[in-house]
């Protein structure tokens, strides 16, 4: 059990930020993302030895948790984060771009958002996204296409602005 | 850089500076101790495939109905938006919806917490005390909706039963999920024995029905009409259906799964008994656990592992996804007939291209693939197909239009064809003496047990 625990601790310490990024895009909030990753890790902890691919497993758990609207009711931390603070070198357009894409992501249906996160941020092939979401590859293609189109629409005006000298 | 590449870069940039709160491991440990339970359920899934499964003398086959990626037209989206709008325009539902003072105060409070100018109005669509909770669904109309975005955002609010507006709306600053035409939620504190409640909502004028699982035949109208509430003592295995203007728009299982408190050792033993090929207990248990959670009440029995073994020579699909590795095939009887199945392929090493460690293929059959004499055919991709055979088989023959097109050797109750299969293909398994020990015909049917979702249709 000690070695299991060591393995789990090492995993948490090395992969936590990666999981947090996925969770952030799913939830849109740093605090909600922490909550989602923590919940998924608690679920994984009890069966650590039996999980052969922890990252894939945790992605699945987080997405199911999030998209099934399973709401854990408890005293929540107050959500104040919009997106992670950035300073200094950001240009106004870059900030506007993130704001636009953020809002567009929040407007997507949860499962479409999950497709975008897994396909384009986790960089999984369509087949693996379908596996994680429990749908066909065709559905992944469809949702990815529609979701990306909306993100594109959100960014297009700013991209035009960016291209103007 | 194309616009798509720009979108993806911006998405990546958004989390560049995301840093965990302190001591993630310690917080997991603390939460684990607080939860005091071995979590149940799980999640996994699979991909589209052309498949067949049949026992001697005749087999059946089914195909996942993969939608045309280009079929989601603006028209479809407009239909979805129209239903969403109809839900938004519906009066508040729920046992407390008649408390106009509370409803107005709640809507006002939520609206006041939003960024100025982003939304033009907030409405309470549902309000009730359900079990130990006070629950509300609030929707907000965007001030400047655009054609490709949801016109409304939504947010579930939860507090203790009888909570004041201030307490219920205390965390309403974050809204975001688009208001879909049909919404459902399951609510619990998450611990063993904690009360679970369920709520589902559609537009006013739609009608909810429910049917007990596993038969899912005796549909009965819900007295609440266009919404449904399950208090803790009412939560049960069942399916829900929503009919609007005479058309069934939504039909599917209520949240939940067959072994909500975890799978017992006896259930694992049954699920793993009779596995063909080369059993791998650890992988098999993981798949049973996952699909118990994933399939839920779409199936009528716990998943069973019918085959495990090596898949060699399947290669990669056009999209780069690899299919060689250790396969685990699980099946379960589907609600409404037929069988759901999934083949998970665990890679020997993480795929360097996709950075993934496994892939999967979902399939469905009309006949029992757990029958030891069945032949199960699962197309992995355009140029590779897995055939699982009876244990005594030594060869597989594929006959297309009267001609044999493949005859691979069977090893560990399976063979990989270096080709895809087509509806009408006949796949025979023969033993060392040449006797047919199993046969199936590939068909082109939708997966069994699929839920209905027709909000995008006219």
B122 Cβ partners below 8 Å, 6+ apart?
Answer: B107, B108, B110, B111, B114, B138, B139, B140, B141
* Antiparallel, parallel or unpaired: β B403-406 and B375-381: unpaired
CB contact under 8 A, A39 and B31: yes
Residues on chain A touching B32 (C-beta within 8 angstroms): 42, 45-46
Q: Is residue A73 part of a domain?
A: no
Instruction: Compute the distance between CA of residue B419 and CA of residue A6 in angstroms, rounded to an integer.
Output: 45
Residue of chain A whose alpha carbon sits nearest to that of B190: A72
Strand partners of residue B43: none
A119 pLDDT above the threshold of 80:
yes
Phi and psi, residue B46, nearest 5°: -160, -170
**What's the pLDDT at B55?**
34
Q: Are residues A10 and A61 in the same domain?
A: yes
Residue A79 within a domain: no
Same-domain status, A62 and A97: no
Q: Please tell me the predicted confidence (pLDDT) of residue B67.
A: 27
Instruction: Show the tokens assigned to B456.
Output: 């995008």
- The pLDDT, as a whole number, for residue A29 is 74
**Cβ-contact A81, A38 below 8 angstroms:** no
Which residues in A lie closer than 8 A to residue B176 (C-beta atoms)? 28, 106-107
Tokens of B341: 């199945």
pLDDT number for residue B350: 67
Helix (H) or strand (E) holding B100, with range, is helix B100-112
Is the Cβ–Cβ distance between B227 and B126 less than 8 Å?
A: yes
Residue A154 lies in a domain: yes
pLDDT of residue A75: 25
Model confidence at A153, pLDDT cuts 50, 70, 90, reads confident
Q: Which residues of A touch B66 (CB under 8 A)?
A: 136-139
**Does A40 share its domain with A102?**
no
Q: Which residues of A touch B353 (CB under 8 A)?
A: 125
Question: In the prediction, which pLDDT does A49 show?
Answer: 67
> Does A135 map to a domain?
yes
Best residue of A108, A120, A127 to probe chain B, by most B CBs closer than 10 Å:
A127
Same domain, residue pair A114 and A55: no
How far are the Cα atoms of B147, B184, B247 from residue B240, in angstroms, in the given order?
A: 31, 10, 14
Is the Cβ pair B176, A116 closer than 8 Å? no
Q: B273: number of CA atoms within 13 Å, CB side? A: 7
How high is the ipTM of this complex? 0.81
Residues A20 and A61 in one domain: yes
Look at residue B60 in the predicted model and tell me its pLDDT.
21
Calpha distance B250→B241 (Å, rounded): 6
Closest chain B C-alpha to A95 CA, distance in angstroms: 9
Nearest Cα residue to B325 out of B365, B380, B397: B380
Q: Which two tokens stand for residue B313?
A: 């020579």
On whether both A105 and A49 belong to a single domain, the answer is no
Domain assignment present for A82:
no
Q: Which residues of chain B have pLDDT under 70?
A: 1, 22-23, 30-77, 146-149, 174-178, 189-193, 293-294, 319-321, 350-358, 446-447, 449-450
Assign B334 to helix, strand or coil: strand
Residue range B385-435, pLDDT digits in tens:
999 999 999 999 999 999 999 999 999 999 999 999 999 999 999 999 999
**Cis amide prior to B214 (ω within 30 degrees):** yes
Give the list of residues 6+ apart from residue B60 with CB closer than 8 angstroms, or none. B52, B53, B54, B365, B366, B367, B440, B441, B443
- CATH number of the domain bearing residue A118: 1.10.10.10
CB contact (8 A) between residue A159 and residue B19 = no
Instruction: Give the number of domains in chain A.
Output: 2
Query: What is the CATH classification number for the domain harbouring A19?
Result: 1.10.1740
Q: Residue A87 domain-assigned?
A: no
Asked if residue A46 belongs to a domain, the reply is yes
Which of the two residues, B35 and A89, has the higher pLDDT score? Answer: B35
CA angle (B128 as vertex; B125, B133 as ends), nearest 5: 125
Which residues of chain A make contact with B294, given a CB cutoff of 8 A?
Answer: 64, 134
Mark whether A102 and A157 lie in a shared domain. yes
Give the strands of the sheet with B59-63, arranged side by side: B59-63, B50-54, B375-381, B384-388, B414-417
Query: Which residues in B lie closer than 8 A to residue A42 (C-beta atoms)?
Result: 28, 31-32, 35, 39
Distance from C-alpha of B320 to C-alpha of A66, rounded to nearest angstrom: 28
* pLDDT value of position A96: 77
Residue A77, in any domain of the structure: no
In chain A, % of residues over pLDDT 70 = 71
Cβ–Cβ gap A33/B346 under 8 Å: no
Q: Do B17 and A86 touch (CB under 8 A)?
A: yes
Q: Which domain holds residue A135?
A: 92-163
**Of A32, A52, A67, which residue is a domain's last?**
A67
What pLDDT is recorded for position B254?
A: 86
Mutation target among B15, B42, B149 for the A interface, most CBs of A within 10 A: B15
What distance in Å separates the CA atoms of residue B386 and residue A91, rounded to the nearest whole number?
A: 53
pLDDT of residue B70: 34
The sign of the dihedral angle between the CA atoms of B374, B344, B323, B366 is positive
Nearest to B319 among A13, A74, A127 (CB): A127
């Amino acid at each position: 059990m000690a070695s299991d625990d060591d393995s789990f601790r090492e995993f948490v310490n090395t992969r936590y930020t990666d999981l947090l990024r996925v969770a952030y895009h799913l939830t849109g909030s740093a605090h909600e993302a922490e909550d989602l990753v923590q919940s998924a890790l608690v679920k994984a902890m009890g069966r650590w030895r039996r999980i052969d691919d922890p990252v894939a497993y945790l992605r699945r758990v987080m997405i199911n948790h999030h998209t099934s609207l399973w709401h854990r009711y408890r005293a929540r931390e107050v959500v104040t984060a919009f997106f992670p603070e950035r300073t200094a070198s950001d240009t106004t357009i870059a900030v506007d771009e993130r704001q636009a894409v953020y809002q567009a992501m929040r407007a997507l249906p949860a499962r479409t958002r999950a497709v975008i996160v897994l396909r384009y941020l986790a960089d999984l092939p369509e087949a693996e996204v379908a596996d994680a979401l429990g749908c066909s590859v065709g559905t992944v293609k469809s949702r990815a296409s529609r979701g990306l189109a909306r993100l594109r629409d959100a960014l297009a005006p700013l991209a035009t602005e960016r291209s103007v000298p | 850089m194309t616009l798509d590449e720009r979108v993806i870069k911006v998405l990546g940039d958004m989390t560049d500076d995301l840093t965990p709160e302190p001591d993630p491991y310690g917080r997991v440990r603390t939460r684990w101790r607080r939860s005091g339970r071995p979590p149940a359920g799980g999640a996994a899934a699979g991909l589209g495939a052309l498949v067949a499964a049949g026992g001697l003398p005749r087999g059946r086959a089914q195909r996942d109905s993969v939608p045309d990626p280009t079929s989601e037209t603006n028209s479809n989206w407009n239909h979805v938006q129209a239903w969403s709008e109809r839900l938004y325009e519906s009066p508040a539902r729920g046992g407390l919806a008649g408390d106009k003072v509370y409803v107005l105060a709640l809507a006002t409070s939520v609206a006041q917490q939003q960024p100025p100018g982003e939304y033009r109005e907030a409405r309470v669509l549902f309000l009730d005390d359900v079990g130990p909770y006070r629950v509300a669904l609030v929707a907000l109309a965007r001030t400047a909706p655009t054609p490709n975005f949801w016109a409304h955002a939504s947010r579930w609010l939860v507090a203790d039963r009888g909570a004041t507006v201030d307490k219920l709306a205390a965390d309403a600053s974050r809204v975001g999920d688009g208001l879909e035409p049909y919404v459902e939620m399951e609510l619990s504190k998450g611990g063993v024995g904690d009360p679970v409640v369920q709520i589902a909502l559609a537009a006013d004028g739609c009608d909810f029905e429910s049917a007990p699982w596993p038969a899912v035949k005796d549909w009965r109208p819900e007295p609440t009409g266009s919404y449904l509430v399950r208090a803790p003592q009412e939560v049960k295995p069942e399916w829900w259906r929503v009919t609007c203007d005479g058309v069934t728009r939504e039909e599917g299982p209520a949240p939940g799964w067959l072994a909500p408190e975890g799978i017992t050792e006896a259930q694992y033993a049954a699920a793993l008994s009779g596995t063909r090929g080369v059993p791998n207990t650890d992988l098999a248990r993981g798949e049973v656990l996952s699909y118990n959670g994933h399939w839920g009440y779409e199936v009528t029995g716990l998943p069973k592992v019918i085959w495990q073994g090596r898949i060699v020579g399947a290669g990669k699909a056009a999209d780069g996804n690899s299919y060689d590795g250790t396969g685990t095939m699980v099946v379960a009887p589907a609600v409404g007939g037929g069988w759901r199945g999934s083949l998970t392929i665990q890679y020997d090493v993480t795929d360097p291209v996709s950075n993934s460690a496994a892939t999967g293929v979902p399939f469905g059959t009309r006949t029992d693939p757990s029958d030891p004499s069945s032949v199960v055919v699962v197309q992995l991709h355009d140029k590779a197909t897995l055939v699982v055979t009876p244990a005594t088989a030594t060869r597989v023959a594929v006959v297309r239009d009267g001609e044999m097109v493949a005859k691979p050797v069977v090893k560990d109750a399976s063979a990989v064809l270096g080709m895809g299969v087509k509806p009408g293909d006949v796949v025979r398994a023969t033993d060392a003496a040449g006797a047919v020990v199993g046969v199936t015909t590939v068909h082109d049917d939708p997966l069994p047990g699929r839920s209905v979702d027709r909000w995008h249709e006219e």
